[in-house]
Structure 1
Amino acid sequence: MCRIFGHFDAEATPHELKAVAAMQRHGGPDAQTQVLGSGWALGNNRLAIMDLDGGDQPYTLGKDIIVVFNGEIYNHQELRHKLAARGHHFADSCDGSVIPALYAEYGEAFPEHLDGMYSVAVVDLRGEPTLVLATDDVGMKPLYYHWDAALRHLYFASELPALLSFRNVPASPWEAGLDAYLATKTPFGEQTMFEGIQVLPPAATVRVTRSAGMRITRRDVSGGQAAHTDGAEAAAHLLSTLRTEVHRLTMADVPVSAITSGGLDSSFVSALAAEKVTDLHSFNIAYTGTWPADERHFAREVAERNGTHHHQVEIDPASFPGMLSDVVWHLGQPNADPITLSTYALFAAVRDAGFKVAITGDAADELFGGYDRIRAAVNAPAGTDWVPAYVNALAAVPRTLRDGLYSSDYRAFMAVSGSSADRIAAHLRASTADTMETLTDFEIGSRLPAYHLRRVDHLSMAASVEVRLPFCQPGVVRYARALPRSLKVTGDQGKKVLYDAASGLLPDSVLNRPKQPFTLPITAMLQPGQALMDYARDMLSADRLRRRGQLDPQRVDELFRTQATNPGDRSAMAIWSLLVHELWLEQFCGPTARAHAEHSGGGALGATR
């Protein structure tokens, strides 16, 4: 697991490259390497997980194929045997060392042979200098880039603060970004909150040359495998598939831990991991004091049943204002889910306990119809339009409320540019598939990488922890795509086949409990007298908002009065979302952004282990 960066057909000083590396050293504290050529450079920050004494990057084949790699390749042993039979030799047993030979054999088709999570950069000097980039099938390892089409300059990095350390990469806010963010909690698709900065989509292969410019192609990963229609057979097959994947994902040259929220998905993964890992350590997070939806007792039951060494992590809500600044910095752009604070603190505790790898249950809801909005859509009576309610359920701030929060100038701008919510609705209505398939494609292809996987990646790697995700493995994703609706959603129950597969492995209290999100009790914490409420009032002052020009200060003040007198989820989430956005603007796009970047880079260097 690593962080990567570089440029192609462009220029950057050695000092710039060191600054980029420093900005993401937390994600790779074990080694930092760079290689430079005429008009190109590749760099790597290494978090040593496999072959601790080997694995030096860049990986090379002769002098003409140079590779840097972020992620894990789970089928590297099989690939090594096949490539060795073709005459290739390997200096070590690290998973990424197979990539140069694989590229030499298959060219741009090399990602089709990889099973894992990854972003890869290859410089090929055998003819016209060529850069090839590739991302994994679901987007577990993001790669951000700035492409200047006129000059044909490309800069890329695993994290946004690192990318912005290149002097030719501007930090200008995307004007439509505020509405896109409030409509979906973080921008979906390839556009980031920065003008001119994109993120590669899942299953992308990129080719860049001076003569042809930049070309992005998408590999077809949508096809599902044959699936069972009988519930018992499907549950048995899913259990077998997940067991195989979880056991395989516990293989590492460092200790592996498990995240156990107390819900079905993470508890199921923890139970399967405990079958393979002797003395497995499990982690759960909670908050000091008494708050709604505390799950620690469920997590404790799972730990006792699995025989894990359980760590109960507690954080004080009084620390949230200070912590939030770090969270927004590591994410690089706003994400409105309050779970970000919990995630950041949890992985810091995993690192402090001495673990570099954690296995989690993320992505099960997207695959198996676990969200309320999915159940509501597929259960909608025939002939009714389920799209508006579904799209509104994606929002951090409902449309009627967010439109009212905008200044007159910003409303006029949005009337011309159009809302991302409308574009999502049009996309869903254009689908010719049934509702379940349409939603599964959208949840996996659009929401999962943007909203979920980038958050998990950035906030775990902020603590130098690699997260492994069994539900994102190709075999699990393909099987889930192919399952009929009846095995995912039945009435008010989602993830039916997953519950059936987990039966007998988890306590009845976990299998029978109502679903609740693993998140922060934000409504209770955004009330008068709470540190978070005072911080939000300071950050969203009328003077600040007038300077920005996108929000109406009077309407935002009304939000605070509503939350103070009649606290509720709607006003609390709106305040939280605006707070996160304002903090992001201050850190990245304000007059003190450069000084903050230098301070944060130094802090990252000092904090790594």
Structure 2
Amino acid sequence: MCRIIGHLGARLSADSLRAAAGLQRAGGPDAQYLAARDGWALGANRLAVMAPQGGRQPYSLGTGIHVVYNGEIYNHRDLRRRLAGFGHRVDDDCDGAVLPALYAHYGDGFAEHLDGMFAIAVIDLRNTPRLVLATDGAGMKPLYYHWDPAAGSLLFASELPALLALPGVPRVPRLSGLDDYLTTKTPFGDETMYEEVRALPAATDLVFEPGRGMRLHRRGPARAEPFPGGPAGPPATLEAAGAHVRNLLRAETGRLAEADAPVCAVVSGGLDSSLVTALLAERIPSLHSFTICYRGTWPFDERAFAAEAARHAGTVHHEVEADPAEFVTLLPDVVARLGQPNADPITVSSYALFRAIREAGFTVALTGDGADEVFLGYRRMQQALTGGADWQDAYVDSLAAVPGALREELYSSEYRDWLRAAGSSEDRLRRRLADRLAAVPGDAAPGSAALAALTALELDERLPAYHLRRVDHLSMAHSVEVRLPFCQPGVQRTATALPQPWKLTARDDKRALREAARGLVPDSVLQRPKQPFTLPITAMLRDGLPLMEYARDLLSPEDVRRDGQLDAAAVQRLLRRQEERPDDTTALAVWALMIHRTWRAQLAAPALTGARAA
């Protein structure tokens, strides 16, 4: 696991590259590498998880091919054997050492042969210098880039603060960024909050050659049977499907348990993380598990469910008790680490949890992220299945940090006018959803078509942007590598191929996954209603509590007016509404504005942002 940085075509000193790479050193504290030549550079900060004695980057093949990468290649042993048959000898035991030979043999399509989570950069100097970037199929390992056609350069980094610290990368916020953020809680797809910075989408290859420009290629799904070793089609019963899913997850979890560093599990008390913990405990004796809870008495306390799941699995369980009074000091650090706003309150809790995991001596953590997307566990998915013709309205509203009517109230008149002319984020989201719907076969039932369209959008855009980048940045902020069984290609292929009624009906969600977990997790966990694993901000944003006092200071009329996008009087009314009649919608709106205001303040103070991120 590493953090990577580099460029092709720019004129950057080694000192400026080292300074920028230092901003993402927490994600790779064990070694720092930089190869900087005339017109190109590749750098890596290493977190030693596999083969700690090897792994020196860039990995090279002769003088022509140089590679840095972030992630884990799970099929590297199979690739070594295959490459040996082609005459390539790979001496370094580290998984990434196979990449130069793999690229040399397969060219730009080399990533199609990888099984793992990765963000890869290849400099090929054999003819015309060229840069190739590649991301894994789920988007587990983020990569950000800035392309300057006029200068003929492309710069990239694993984290936004590092990329923005490179000379020549503009720190200009997008005018539509606030509307994007409040509509979907963070920008989706390849967008970021910055005008000239993009995120490389999942399953995407980027090829850049100065003088010839840049091109993107989206790889298709890997070719493999969704039910290997079984019948030609899906299992014949729900019970058989559950057994197949259980066996598949057992194999994937066992594979992800392999590491030359200590491995633990994150358990929230929900179905997904409890199942991963139970399966991991089968592989690792005296497995340690971790959950987050909050000092004091708060609603939605899941520690009892997490503890029961841990007892059932036989783990050594740790309750990380975060102090809500500390959140006002953690919040700026969290925003700086993410590099842009994410409105999910769980960001602060996750930051505190991964800090505790690292302090306890663990480098690798397995989590249950991604299960709701692949096995259909969100309430909005049931609503789309049964909601009739207006399901799109409910779906779009469900993704928002601030509902549409309230956004209109909070925006300044100038910003509202600009959005009417430029087009709103909600309009663009509806068009993308309509495009997904148009791609569904015409013979699909209306509910199934709606479900297929939104699931495609969730997997392609929301999961990488909203969930996986957040998990990656906040875990690597404390030198912890997160591994994600539900995001593995085999699991996603199987879940996609399962008949929809075995995943979701009007009454039950994640049916095949619940069947797979039967007997492995306590009945209390298996049967409990879904509850978001989050921070109880409605209760914490109350008069007299530290978080509310912080909100008032942060959202003062003077600060709110500074950007010209929000109506200061409307924001004050929102704060009073939360003080007098607290509710979840108002609390999340206040929280989202706090996060955005924190980010804008850091954007105006780059030295402070860099210090916090270092």
Matched, 1:424 2:439: no
Shift of the alpha carbon at 1:229?
A: 5.4
Deviations 1:37-90 (A, max 9, x none): 220100000000000111111101111110000000011111111112222122
Shift of the alpha carbon at 1:91?
A: 2.4
Kindly report which structure 2 residues correspond to 1:204-603, keeping only aligned pairs within 5 A, or say none.
204-221=204-221, 225=226, 227-228=234-235, 230-381=237-388, 384-430=389-435, 431-432=437-438, 433=440, 434-588=449-603, 590=604, 593-601=605-613
1:607 matched residue in structure 2? none
What amino acid maps onto 1:227 in structure 2? P
Q: Is the 8 A contact 2:161 2:610 kept in 1?
A: no
Shift of the alpha carbon at 1:492?
A: 2.6
CA distance in 1, matches of 2:158, 2:172: 19
- Per the alignment, in what secondary structure is the counterpart of residue 214 of structure 1? strand
What amino acid maps onto 2:141 in structure 1? K
- Per the alignment, in what secondary structure is the counterpart of residue 426 of structure 2? helix
Deviations 1:425-466 (A, max 9, x none): 122223232122112211111100000000000000000000
- Per the alignment, in what secondary structure is the counterpart of residue 261 of structure 1? coil
Q: Is the 8 A contact 2:152 2:211 kept in 1?
A: no
CA distance in 1, matches of 2:30, 2:477: 14
CA distance in 2, matches of 1:479, 1:368: 10
Matched, 1:200 2:207: no
Shift of the alpha carbon at 1:106?
A: 0.3
TM-score (norm 2): 0.96
CA distance in 2, matches of 1:222, 1:374: 26
CA distance in 1, matches of 2:290, 2:80: 34
Shift of the alpha carbon at 1:230?
A: 2.4
Q: Is the 8 A contact 1:488 1:496 kept in 2?
A: yes
CA distance in 2, matches of 1:599, 1:135: 29
Shift of the alpha carbon at 1:347?
A: 0.4
CA distance in 2, matches of 1:228, 1:150: 55
What amino acid maps onto 1:415 in structure 2? R
- Per the alignment, in what secondary structure is the counterpart of residue 386 of structure 1? helix
Shift of the alpha carbon at 1:98?
A: 0.5
Q: 1:186 to 1:229 in 2, by over 3 A?
A: farther
Kindly report which structure 2 residues correspond to 1:107-146, keeping only aligned pairs within 5 A, or say none.
107-146=107-146
CA distance in 1, matches of 2:598, 2:537: 17
Shift of the alpha carbon at 1:500?
A: 0.7
What amino acid maps onto 1:107 in structure 2? G
- Per the alignment, in what secondary structure is the counterpart of residue 385 of structure 1? helix
Q: Is the 8 A contact 1:50 1:253 kept in 2?
A: yes
Q: Structure 1 unaligned runs (5+)?
A: 605-609
CA distance in 2, matches of 1:278, 1:76: 26
CA distance in 1, matches of 2:470, 2:482: 11
CA distance in 2, matches of 1:374, 1:531: 36
Shift of the alpha carbon at 1:236?
A: 1.2
- Per the alignment, in what secondary structure is the counterpart of residue 390 of structure 2? coil
Q: Is the 8 A contact 1:436 1:485 kept in 2?
A: no
What amino acid maps onto 1:400 in structure 2? A
What amino acid maps onto 1:373 in structure 2? R
Matched, 1:61 2:61: yes
CA distance in 2, matches of 1:394, 1:465: 29
- Per the alignment, in what secondary structure is the counterpart of residue 282 of structure 2? helix
Shift of the alpha carbon at 1:255?
A: 1.2
CA distance in 2, matches of 1:564, 1:125: 62
- Per the alignment, in what secondary structure is the counterpart of residue 12 of structure 1? coil
- Per the alignment, in what secondary structure is the counterpart of residue 533 of structure 1? helix
CA distance in 2, matches of 1:62, 1:164: 32
What amino acid maps onto 2:506 in structure 1? G
CA distance in 1, matches of 2:15, 2:92: 31
- Per the alignment, in what secondary structure is the counterpart of residue 172 of structure 1? coil
Q: Is the 8 A contact 1:229 1:484 kept in 2?
A: no
CA distance in 2, matches of 1:366, 1:587: 32
Q: Is the 8 A contact 1:437 1:481 kept in 2?
A: no
> Mean Cα displacement is larger for which, 83-92 or 247-256?
83-92
After superposition, the CA RMSD in angstroms is 1.1
CA distance in 2, matches of 1:371, 1:152: 44
What amino acid maps onto 2:293 in structure 1? A
CA distance in 1, matches of 2:544, 2:91: 60
CA distance in 2, matches of 1:495, 1:227: 16
Structure 1's consecutive aligned runs of 4 or more residues displaced over 3 angstroms after TM superposition are 222-229
Counting aligned pairs with the same residue, the percent is 56
CA distance in 2, matches of 1:227, 1:531: 53
Q: Structure 2 unaligned runs (5+)?
A: 227-232, 441-448
- Per the alignment, in what secondary structure is the counterpart of residue 577 of structure 1? helix
2:100 matched residue in structure 1? 100
> Mean Cα displacement is larger for which, 423-432 or 55-64?
423-432
Shift of the alpha carbon at 1:228?
A: 3.4
Shift of the alpha carbon at 1:222?
A: 8.3
Q: Is the 8 A contact 1:440 1:481 kept in 2?
A: no
CA distance in 2, matches of 1:120, 1:595: 29
Q: Is the 8 A contact 2:3 2:46 kept in 1?
A: yes
- Per the alignment, in what secondary structure is the counterpart of residue 60 of structure 2? strand
Residues paired across the two proteins, number = 597
What amino acid maps onto 1:404 in structure 2? E
TM-score (norm 1): 0.97
Shift of the alpha carbon at 1:153?
A: 1.1
Deviations 1:391-438 (A, max 9, x none): 010000000001110000000110011112111212222323212211
Deviations 1:271-303 (A, max 9, x none): 000000111110001000000010111111111
CA distance in 1, matches of 2:45, 2:99: 17
CA distance in 2, matches of 1:598, 1:171: 13
CA distance in 2, matches of 1:118, 1:297: 35
CA distance in 1, matches of 2:554, 2:205: 41
Matched, 1:45 2:51: no
Shift of the alpha carbon at 1:148?
A: 0.7
Deviations 1:286-332 (A, max 9, x none): 00000001011111111111111111100110000100000000000
Q: Is the 8 A contact 2:264 2:366 kept in 1?
A: yes
What amino acid maps onto 1:340 in structure 2? T
2:445 matched residue in structure 1? none
2:229 matched residue in structure 1? none
